[in-house]
Every structure is written in structure tokens, then in C-alpha cells.
Amino acid sequence: MTDTTKNFGTGPAAASKTFVYLSLDSILDPGDTLIGSRPVGVLSSGSYSAGSTLVTIPADATPGIRYLIVLADGGQAVAESIETNNTRTTSIAVGPDLQVSALSAPLSALPGSAITVTDTTKNFATVPAAASTTFVYFSLDSILDSGDTLIGNRPVGVLGGGSSSAGSTVVTIPVDTTPGTRYLIVLADGGQTVGESIETNNTRTTSISIPFPDLQVSALSAPSSALSGSTITVTDTTSNLGTGLAAASTTRYYLSATSTYDTTDILIGSRSIGTLLNGASSSGSATVTIPAGTVVGRYYLIARADGEEVLAETNETNNTKYYRIVVQ
Ligand SMILES: [Ca+2]
Ligand SMILES: [Ca+2]
Ligand SMILES: [Ca+2]
Ligand SMILES: [Ca+2]
């Protein structure tokens, strides 16, 4: 600690001592710890003494932003014109300070896939940090909160002042993740085992794109004619032509007067489609009934992928395929 103790009064000041305190706040009070002092000689009006004091931060000092308070005439040996202006304060960071100084991960990934997250966890303080664990979270937004999913962690050894640990963690993107922009949040000292001067700077975030699927009905067949009220077998192939994973969906079948689907079309059956990876297809059949009383004529059997409209896709307008059918 280097200070200048000056006599601002009009008369001389007898010899005094300048005290140094460590404080949890910036105000000197009886709870503060005296950690050093230095002698100051007689000071005539306007003269000063500049000097340094080697002080020790107590080993048991609680980490955090603390205050060094220097007090002129500590011990109150000199009567002064003003006794209430004798302190000067500066802050000091006590303890290590872990931060994630670098982070990299793939720009996109499929739900359920394993990816490698690489981080550098660094101790930005001058004092060592005990061993810690760096956590990796998956988040819907860029802010770490209690709703985020812990998907991995890696051990970080003791880090001396200014030193760092670079390492990788293999994590799995939650299988139920929906498409869109998501976030990987890496947290130094996850689990909070290391007391630090600053506990609020421990995260680093990167976005990761979960790609969208694109379901289409790539093939459709049925009898070319059917009796009103009869059951027929419809066979289709529902394909995921997007880059993302398609969660389970339903392909619905409609009887329509036109080749394009609209909400007035008559739902006559459906088929469940399991999860489809990008590029994958599901072929299958369903038994459907031509409603009794259907007026004889030419119709369109329309198959509509994601007929329940539960999946977000890159293209929502390419989900139907029709097959001409005559109702007799
Ligand atoms: Ca005094
Ligand atoms: Ca920190
Ligand atoms: Ca901590
Ligand atoms: Ca589609």
C-alpha cells in the first residue's frame, strides 16, 4: 500500500501513524481488520509524507471485492481541526477469479447427437484457484438459469494466478430439442466449490443451430376406384427431405374435390410416422373408409405429411400429394 499523508491544516502536526485496514465495505468501522501501519513524522502546514506499507491479506479473508481503507493519525495521537476526513479508500479483488476465456463448438447439430465442446477455463487473478469443475449447459436462450439442462462437465485442476486449462467435453444434444437457435453455456466452477473475487463472470455462451426438418409425401398409391362406404388401402412414403431431424408425426389422408388440400376436405384416415432422420423415409399403408353417401364422381385422395401440424419445418407448403380416385 502506498499512500501520501498530508497536513492540510495551518499548524504543524506532531508525529503520527497511518493505519491500513481491510474492510468488507468502503466505510471504516470497528469490524474492519487492521493489517498494517507506517510512521509519519512531524508534518508542518502543507507538507506531506509519501510512503509504502507492506500488508498481508489475511489468509481467511472471504473472497470478493474488498476495500483497503487508509487512515491518517490511526490511534488518534494528533488533535486536528477536522477529525472526520482522515480516510481514503481503494477496492481490491480478493481471491481467485475463474472465467471461461474461450469456447468453441459446432455451429449446428441434430437432436440426440454427440458434439465436442472445447473451452479454456482461466484464473484471471494473481492468487491460485483450487481445483474446480467446468459445466456445460444446453439452453433455449443465452442466459444461464435453473431451467437449463446440464449436459456435461470436465475437471479443471488447480490453476495458478493467470494460468488456464483448455479441454474438451463430449456432450449430447437433448433428443427432444426442437429446431431453432439454441445455446451452449459453459460455466467455470460449476457447483460453486471455489470462492472467487467475482462470482458473476463465470459463463461464456455460444449459439448452436438445430436444423429444421422438411416432411413431404414422396409417393402415394391407392385403388383408382372404390365404392362409396367401402374400405381401401392407401400406401404412401413420407420422407424427411430437410437437414434436421423430424420428430414423430402423423400423415393424414383426405378425400377432396380438388387436388389441393383445404380445411373442408374430409379426413378419412391417418398413419403414424416415427422419428425420421434427415434423408430418411417411412413407407406404409393404412386402411381408410370412403364415407358412405359420398356422391359418385371423380375425387382426389390427398395424403398430407404432418397432418396434425405439430412440427416446424423449413417448408410447410410442400406436404401434400394427391392420387386420383373415382367413387362409384
Ligand atoms: Ca486526529
Ligand atoms: Ca469468476
Ligand atoms: Ca465460484
Ligand atoms: Ca414440408
Which tens digits make up the pLDDT trace of 257-296? 999 999 999 999 999 999 999 999 999 999 999 999 999 9
**Separation of CA 286 and ligand 4 centre (Å):** 21
Inform me whether the pLDDT recorded for 28 exceeds 90. Answer: yes
Q: Closest Cα partner for 310 from 249, 261, 268, 266?
A: 249
| Cα–Cα dist 291/56, whole Å | 90
**Separation of CA 216 and ligand 4 centre (Å):** 5
Minimum-distance ligand to the CA of 73? 1
- Report pLDDT digits (tens) over 131-161: 999 999 999 999 999 999 999 999 999 999 9
| Cα–Cα dist 166/188, whole Å | 12
- CATH class of the 2-94 domain in this structure: mainly beta
**Separation of CA 193 and ligand 3 centre (Å):** 6
b/e string for 125-154 if b means 16 or more Cβ within 10 A? beeebeebbbbbbbbeeeebeeebeebbbb
Q: Are 189 and 157 in contact (CB under 8 A)?
A: no
Per the listing, cell 492468487 goes with 127
- Report pLDDT digits (tens) over 97-136: 999 999 999 999 999 999 999 999 999 999 999 999 999 9
Q: Does domain 98-210 sit in CATH 1.20.120.920?
A: no
When the pLDDT of each residue in the chain is averaged and rounded to a whole number, the result is: 97
- Report pLDDT digits (tens) over 173-186: 999 999 999 999 99
Minimum-distance ligand to the CA of 195? 3
Which backbone phi and psi does 140 adopt, to 5 degrees? -80, -20
Q: Which amino acid is at 326?
A: V
Give the pLDDT band (50/70/90) at residue 59: confident
Same fold, 2-94 and 98-210: yes
Question: Residue 36 burial by CB count (10 A; 0-12/13-18/19+): exposed, middle or buried?
Answer: middle
Minimum-distance ligand to the CA of 194? 3
In the chain, what are the domain boundaries? 2-94, 98-210, 215-327
**Separation of CA 88 and ligand 3 centre (Å):** 30
pTM of the entire structure? 0.80
- Report pLDDT digits (tens) over 312-324: 999 999 999 999 9
**Can you tell me the mean pLDDT for 63-90?**
97
- Please state the separation of Cα 296 from the chain's center in Å: 60
Grid cell in block for residue 121 = 477455463
CA end-to-end span of the chain, whole Å?
100
DSSP for 118-181 reads EEEEEE-SSS-B--EEEEEEEESSSS--TTSEEEEEEEE--B-TT-EEEEEEEEE--TTPPSEE
Task: Bin 162: left if φ > 0, else alpha if -120 < ψ < 50, else beta.
Answer: left
Grid cell in block for residue 279 = 434423408
**Separation of CA 236 and ligand 4 centre (Å):** 15
Pick the CATH number of 215-327 from 3.40.1180.10, 3.40.50.300, 2.60.40.10, 3.40.228.10: 2.60.40.10
Minimum-distance ligand to the CA of 7? 1
| Cα–Cα dist 103/119, whole Å | 4
